Chains A and B, each alone.
Chain A
Amino acid sequence: MATVTNTPVSDLLKSFKLKTKQQELLIRVSILCLVYILAFIIRLFSVLRYESMIHEFDPYFNYRTTLYLTQNGFYDFWNWFDYESWYPLGRIIGGTLYPGLMVTAVLIYRILHFLRFAVHIREVCVLTAPFFASNTTLVAYFFGKEIWDTGAGLVAAILIAICPGYISRSVAGSYDNEGVAIFALLFTFYLFVKAVNTGSLAWSLASAFGYFYMVSAWGGYVFIINLIPLYVLVLLITGRYSMRLYIAYNCMYVLGMLLAMQIRFVGFQHVQSGEHMAAMGVFFLMQVFYFLDWVKHMLSDTKLFQAFLRITVTCAVAVGTIALGLGMLSGYISPWTGRFYSLLDPTYAKDHIPIIASVSEHQPTAWSSFMFDYHILLFLFPAGLYFCFKRLSDATIFIVMYGLTSMYFAGVMVRLILVATPAVCLISAIAVSATVKNLTVLLRSKNKGVLTGSTKGSSSSKASSKALLDQSQPFQKNGAIALLFGAFYLLSKYATHCTWVTSEAYSSPSIVLAARGAHGNRVIFDDYREAYFWLRQNTPADAKVMSWWDYGYQITAMGNRTVIVDNNTWNNTHIATVGRAMSSYEDEAIEIMRSLDVDYVLVVFGGVTGYSSDDINKFLWMVRIGGGVFPVIKEPDYLVNGEYRVDKGAAPKMLNCLMYKLCYYRFGEMLTEYGKPPGYDRARGVEIGNKDIKLEHLEEAFTTSNWIVRIYKVKPPNNRW
């Protein structure tokens, strides 16, 4: 009778009641929407704490080029020769950058303006990386669905949305190539695996265009062009050659290679560089396989075919080796460049190329870095590998190879943890999804087990095993519930860790420093921007600034002045000249500075604030790089018993070189800490050795409020002697 009175309401509710399939779709779509929003918001910490600004060093160059692109159009951008950096050499920007990021940002900017949202290009630049991170979660969902099933896809999307390994380079304000490149990488891999699974021409062509986008976005495309041939090779070895693989690889390679040559920075490297030869070799090997398959199809005689097979394979391998040898000997095919060679032989950079070895991101990885960036994914990864090996298919072989190669490279270089993150998230998602599925099947099997045992007439062994199952049912069900709670606990700890890491470690803009004051309040040091804006407003427009290459991009972008060397580090000799000037006595340095037309010198000094990434801590690298080109600079001259010191016991060359003088000028009178003598360097923790510094050819122009950035003006030569 209650139903009669509630008829209209219950009818309405019944019309909303969904079938199971629709319920599942609703749950999936809502999870994906929430994950999309989560991936975006977790990256917004620094925008909320400080302001919407560009972080670090490299993004300032990207921002400057994007600004140029919006103001001058694509043709001028593509043919841009920049005379404001690397004075007096200049830099061909159009031919030495990867335009994908800038073009993407400008495209979004144009779309927003078309919809009449008048945003500044800086806001678009700041928020490009979180936007693409959200898109990456969607691609991860589809990829997981392709490899395993929709459950794994959803878990992969969630894991990759908050994984710190990815957040570190895609936080809001980090306007760098990797923000877009990881999306392009995963997208290309997804399209290729889809093409191999379906054998469709459309998906293969889509993967070629995805590869083109990746090439335009980041120099790490070399990873794709080596991983995919390796994957094809593994498939061929394990006997999984098929027409689908043939179509997918051929289309992707040929079209992808032709498209990649459109980027001037890449040029003809796909046919000339040693790093791309694996792809070409596998391409020819595929043709040989196809040819053999066709011959086998034509011949009905197997013995004949075996002989033919042996001859052909021997000939093909011989011809390939001879061609490769000829190419390398004649110099047409260049050998592996230093950056990528140091991945195969990690000790190479330390001995031969100090510039590559000096970048802190290029150091090998310690376990704590892995832990910091991956947390529980580190032990879910081997479990996921096990599940992949249990159910081997073309797609799981791919993800296993991607995971293993990228983990090895992540072990060699800290920066490459970023490339390994999608693979680790996907494989861990498989582990989580498979385990949870096993446990929930156990939870739900109780009712089914009882029903089938009683209704169906099963065999005796099956009945006895079901009986055993029935006996242990409650125990197993409780165990499964406990394990599910355990899994929930682990995943929630993961989420807590990720949020904490993002908030504390990866959301600092680097250009604005923050510290805790004596009472626990947050103190902000905005010295960098103060100095750059001083440069912009108080120096003549054609002034040239000499500083270490770390600050070059920021000086050109914010200070709007010409610099001698910047972060592009394309000319080692020029950098070594600056390094030599910084490490010489003032009289020798002034000669070098006059020859380079330098007007201002900028140094970064952390002695007052305790900031440890200043030029005195980087000084030994200046000596090494300068000494690598000019043998007059010898590193042992600056060390005492192999130790680097700045106090009274320091080497005399150290106490009188230009960098020391510029950093510690007038510092000897400064009281930095209560209870310590004047001239106490808080970053090194010692009292400095040479307090009475006199500058002959330079004069102090500006020191920021916390003494972090110091600018000196080069005095013109004396009029009369």
Chain B
Amino acid sequence: MSQKIRTAPKQDSQSTGTIAVADASAQVSMDPFFHILKLVPYSFLRPPRLRLKLPSFSLPSAMTVFSLILLTYFMVVSGFIYDVIVEPPGIGSTQDPATGAVRPVVFLPGRVNGHYIIEGLSSGFMFVLGGIGIVLLDLALDKNRARSIKVSYSIAGISSVVIAYVPGYLYQSFELKLFY
């Protein structure tokens, strides 16, 4: 019964049998709000017959929650909050001293606690890809699938993990310059 308490007993007592009547009367006698409301507006007001359904609240499945969480993890790890507050440029630029052309600089040089926006987002994306890669590996080892799917999952998984290690490798190559 999804209608509100104060309208339900009226319909109930009219349409159902004696047991329902006893039920309804038991419901009627217990609810104090019903008694008050029966008296104050609804003794002279007649509620319309509507087909309203209270929104039913069902919990999302675990995997739905997991995908939402992956999205927020991507935003946190790519330094989204840093982007919003400090507002760094999308990508850096240097001027080539010889030709005078402007070359883009991807990684912010000289310090560990700053980045450009594109650098942050792409690294964050690669980390999430790596995580998904390991998930695919686990799905690939599940026994109840067709072999071709298992093979494709495992290949995708391995390549994702390899790609995910790229930011780490690139990072090490220039962080070494930082401290030496």
Contacts and interface: CB of A to CB of B under 8 A. Distances in A.
B27 A307 contact: yes
Contact of A372 (B30, B108, B175): B175
Interface string A365-388: 111111110011011111101110
B131 A381 contact: yes
Interface in A319-359: 346-347, 350
A372 B135 CA distance: 24
B131 A379 contact: yes
Contacts of B33: 311
Contacts of B175: 372
A34 B128 CA distance: 32
A376 B165 contact: yes
A180 interface: no
Interface in A418-451: 431, 434-435, 438-439, 441-442
B85 A350 contact: yes
Contacts of A6: none
B30 A304 contact: yes
Interface in B112-164: 112-115, 119-120, 123-124, 126-135, 137-138, 141, 143, 147, 154, 158, 161, 164
A238 B128 CA distance: 27
A366 B115 contact: yes
Interface stretch (B38-46, B63-71, B92-100): B63-71
Contacts of A25: none
Given A435-B137, A435-B138, A486-B161, A363 B113 contact: yes
B52 interface: no
Most buried by B among A308, A360, A385: A385
A505 interface: yes
B81 A387 contact: no
Contacts of B129: 379
B101 interface: no
Contact of B66 (A310, A389, A505): A389
Contacts of A493: 165, 168
Given A379-B130, A435-B137, A468-B147, A368 B113 contact: yes
A434 B142 CA distance: 13
A483 interface: yes
B168 A368 contact: no
Given A304-B26, A307-B30, A364 B137 contact: no
Interface stretch (A290-298, A407-415, A556-564, A632-640): A407-415
Contacts of B62: 389-390, 392
A375 B168 contact: yes
A382 B76 CA distance: 12
A386 B113 contact: no
B134 A379 contact: yes
A320 B167 CA distance: 49
A364 B27 contact: no
A118 interface: no
Contacts of A380: 131, 134
A364 B129 CA distance: 24
A412 B141 contact: no
B66 A304 contact: no
A472 interface: yes
Given A347-B85, A367-B78, A407-B73, A438 B168 contact: no
Contacts of B130: 378-379, 382-383
A370 B85 CA distance: 17
B5 interface: yes
Interface residues of A, number: 65
Interface in B1-52: 5, 23, 26-27, 30-31, 33
A237 interface: yes
B79 A483 contact: no
Contacts of A465: 143
A410 B79 CA distance: 10
Contacts of A378: 77, 127, 130
A490 interface: yes
A37 interface: no
Nearest to A501: B175
Most buried by B among A378, A434, A435: A378
Contact of B5 (A310, A366, A490): A310
A324 B126 CA distance: 45
A238 B59 contact: yes
Contacts of A516: 180
A522 to B, nearest CB: 12
Contact of A408 (B72, B124, B158, B161): B72
A471 to B, nearest CB: 9
A479 interface: yes
A542 interface: no
B78 to A, nearest CB: 6
Given A364-B86, A371-B171, A382 B128 contact: yes
Nearest to B115: A366
Interface in A457-476: 465, 468, 472
Interface string A595-614: 00000000000000000000
B134 A505 contact: no
Contact of A434 (B84, B120, B138, B168): B138
Nearest to B65: A389
A497 to B, nearest CB: 7
A435 B62 CA distance: 20
A303 B27 CA distance: 8
Contacts of B85: 346-347, 350, 364
Nearest to A439: B141
Contacts of A363: 82, 86, 113
A386 B66 contact: yes
Most buried by A among B134, B175, B180: B134
Most buried by B among A307, A347, A497: A307
Nearest to A434: B138
A475 B127 CA distance: 28
Given A367-B120, A371-B167, A379-B131, A483 B137 contact: yes
Contacts of A385: 66, 69-70, 73, 131
A438 B65 CA distance: 24
B133 to A, nearest CB: 8
B124 to A, nearest CB: 6
Contacts of B180: 516
B31 A368 contact: no
Contact of A368 (B23, B115, B138, B141): B115
B11 to A, nearest CB: 15
Nearest to B86: A364
A643 interface: no
Contacts of B31: 307, 311
A648 B108 CA distance: 29
B5 to A, nearest CB: 7
A404 interface: yes
Interface string A483-510: 1001000100100010000001100000
A304 B115 contact: no
Nearest to A408: B76
Interface in A542-578: none
B114 A366 contact: yes
A497 B167 CA distance: 13
A439 B140 CA distance: 11
Given A303-B23, A367-B115, 14 more contacts: A307-B30, A308-B30, A311-B33, A346-B81, A346-B84, A347-B84, A366-B113, A379-B161, A382-B130, A385-B66, A435-B137, A441-B141, A490-B165, A493-B165
14 contacts: A308-B30, A346-B81, A364-B85, A366-B82, A367-B119, A369-B113, A371-B167, A375-B168, A382-B132, A404-B73, A410-B76, A412-B81, A438-B141, A442-B141
Interface of A: 237-239, 301, 303-304, 307-308, 310-311, 346-347, 350, 360, 363-372, 375-376, 378-383, 385-387, 389-390, 392, 400, 404, 407-408, 410-412, 414, 431, 434-435, 438-439, 441-442, 465, 468, 472, 479, 483, 486, 490, 493, 497, 504-505, 516
What 5 A-B pairs have minimum CB-CB distances, sorted nearest first? A382-B131, A379-B130, A383-B134, A411-B76, A364-B82
